[in-house]
Amino acid sequence: QVALNGHSTTSTGMDPSGKLQDELHGSKVELGKKVTLLRGISIIIGTIIGAGIFISPKGILRSSGSVGMSLIVWIACGVLSLLGALSYAELGTSITKSGGHYTYIMEAFGPKMAFIRLWSDLIAIRPAAMAVISLAFGQYILEPLFMPCGIPPMAVKLATATGITSVMYLNSMSVTWTARIQNILTLSKLLAIAIIIVPGMYQLFKGETQNFEDAFDLSKVQLSGIPLAFYSGMYAYAGWFYLNFVTEEVEHPERTMPLAICISMAIVTSCYVLANVSYYTVMTAEELLSSEAVAVTFAEKLLGNFSRVVPLFVAMSCFGSMNGSLFALSRMFFVASREGHLPEVFSMIHIRRHTPLAAVLILYPMTILLLFVGDIYSLLNFMSFLRWLFIGVVVLGLIYLRFKKPDLPRPFKVPLFIPVIFCLTCFFMVFLSLYSDPVNTGIGFAICLTGLPAYYIFIYFSHRPKWLQKSLDSFYRSLQIVLEVVPADQ
C-alpha cells in the first residue's frame, strides 16, 4: 500500500520500481485552483470566438433577408446567450463540481440521463467538433504559403493533425501554461477583430453609409428564415458554458464565474456587432454573400497587402478555440470517471505536472480517426441539434432544482424568467431542427439513443466474465504506469 495524504492506493497501479512512490512523497496530487478572473474570461472569449466571425457571417444575412435585420439577430443572439450564461452561472455557484452539462444533468435527473449525454459527447459530438475547428486551423495556417494556389487536401489534414497533437501536448504538460497561452491567443483574437473594427468604424464616421440605406427593407425578409438566422447566431455564440466545466479549478467561483461570464458576453457581443457593422460599411450585402471568407475580402478591399496576415489571425483564433474547449472538456471526462461512468484511470492526475493526462488524451484517437476517414460535417449536422437539446435539459434542471432543492445554497441567483425564456428558446431550436432536417436529426437522435444500451452494458450490469475483467484491470494498470498518473486527492 502507498499512502497519498491519508488516501490509500493499491500498489498494482504503481511503478514496480517504486519511482512513483518517491515522486509522491510529501506532495499533494490534485488539480489546483489556477483559473483566475482573467483566465476565466480568456477561456470563455477564446472558446466562443473561433473562425466564424472571420469567415461566414453571411449565413445570418442570407436567412434574415436584410442588413438591419441581421444586426438585430446578432444583438438578440448575444442577449439570449447571456441569459443562458447567467443560468449556468447560478448552476456553477450552487453545484461547485466541474463537468458542466454532465454534472448538472446528473444532479437534476440522475446518472442514466447524464451517461447518455456523456456517451454522445464521447463517440461523436466532441471529436467531430474538434476535427471541424481544427480543419479550419489547418486550412488557414497554410493559406499564406500557398496563395494564390489551392492547398492540397492531404497537406491540410497533416497540418490539422499537427495542430490537434500540439493542443493535446500543451494541455498534458501544464495547466498554468495552457491558461497563459489561452490568454495570449484571446488577445490575438481581439486584436484581429480590432483590425476589422477600427478601419471599418473610421470609414463609417467619414460618411461611408451608403450600404446602410434601406437597411430595414423588409421586401426580402421571410419569417421562415428568421429562426434559421437565430440558429446560426446561437451557434456563433456557443462556448459561454465552458467555464462551468472547470468549476473546481476556479478561484472564488461564487464571485469569479458570474463576473467572467458577464464581462465575456459583453465583450463578445460588442465585437460581433461592431465587426458586422464594419463589414457592411466596406462591402455591400451582395459582396458579403458572395465572399467565401468575409474577413479576407474585407482586408483585400481596405488593407491591401496586409490582407495576407488575416488568415494567420484566423488560424490563431481556431487554435485558441481548440485549446480552450479541450481544457474544459477534459475536466468533464475527469468528473465522469470519478462518478464511475468511465474507467478510473481517466480521473487520475500526473504525478509531477498535476494535469488530468488520461482525460486530456481520451478524445485524441477518435478525433484523428474522424479527421482522416470520417464525413465530419455530416456527423456534426447529425449532432448539432443535440447540443441545444441537452443545454435545454440542463436549464430545465435548474428550474426543477429550484422546487426540488429550495434550500440549496445559491450564492448567485437569477430571476426565474431568465432560465424559462432560455429553456423555451433551446427547445424551439430543437423543434426547428426536427422540422427542417428530419433525416439527419433522426440519425443523430438514434446515435444518441445508443447510449441507453451502453449504460446497461457498461455501467448498470457490472458483472463481467473474470477473464475480461482481469484483462481490463491489467490494461488500465499498464496505462497508469505508462502515463505516470495516480488517483487525485479528494
Strands (E), 48-157: none
Residue 467 lies in a domain: no
**Are residues 485 and 362 in contact, defined by beta-carbon separation less than 8 angstroms?**
no
363, 368, 374, 378 alpha-carbon torsion, rounded to 10° = 50
- Give the count of domains, the chain: 1
d(CA 90, CA 107): 14
Residue 489 lies in a domain: no
- Which CATH number characterizes residue 227's domain? 1.20.1740.10
All cell numbers assigned to 71: 444586426
**pLDDT value at residue 31:** 56
pTM of the model: 0.82
d(CA 357, CA 343): 14
Other CB atoms within a 10 A radius of the CB of residue 38 amount to: 14
Residue 228 lies in a domain: yes
Other CB atoms within a 10 A radius of the CB of residue 251 amount to: 14
**Are residues 323 and 170 in contact, defined by beta-carbon separation less than 8 angstroms?**
yes
**pLDDT value at residue 477:** 81
**pLDDT value at residue 130:** 87
Mean pLDDT by 10 residues, the chain (490 residues): 34 40 48 77 87 77 85 92 92 88 92 91 84 86 80 89 92 84 87 90 87 76 74 84 86 88 92 92 87 81 80 88 88 88 84 83 88 70 78 94 90 92 89 77 84 84 72 78 71
For residue 145, what is the enclosing H or E element? helix 126-146
**pLDDT value at residue 392:** 92
Residue 3 lies in a domain: no
Query: What are phi and psi for residue 96, nearest 5 degrees?
Result: -90, 40
**pLDDT value at residue 3:** 33
**Are residues 243 and 38 in contact, defined by beta-carbon separation less than 8 angstroms?**
no
For residue 176, what is the enclosing H or E element? helix 175-205
Spatial neighbors of 3 by CB under 8 A, at least 6 apart, are none
Containing domain of residue 297, as a range? 33-449
Residue 22 lies in a domain: no
Residue 463 lies in a domain: no
**Per residue, what are the HEC states of 56-80?**
CCHHHHHHHCCHHHHHHHHHHHHHH
Residue 28 lies in a domain: no
d(CA 83, CA 102): 20
> Which residue blocks in 283-416 are alpha helix, DSSP H?
285-290, 294-302, 310-338, 357-361, 364-373, 376-404
Residue 486 lies in a domain: no
**pLDDT value at residue 11:** 35
**Are residues 100 and 245 in contact, defined by beta-carbon separation less than 8 angstroms?**
yes
**pLDDT value at residue 314:** 86
For residue 350, what is the enclosing H or E element? strand 348-350
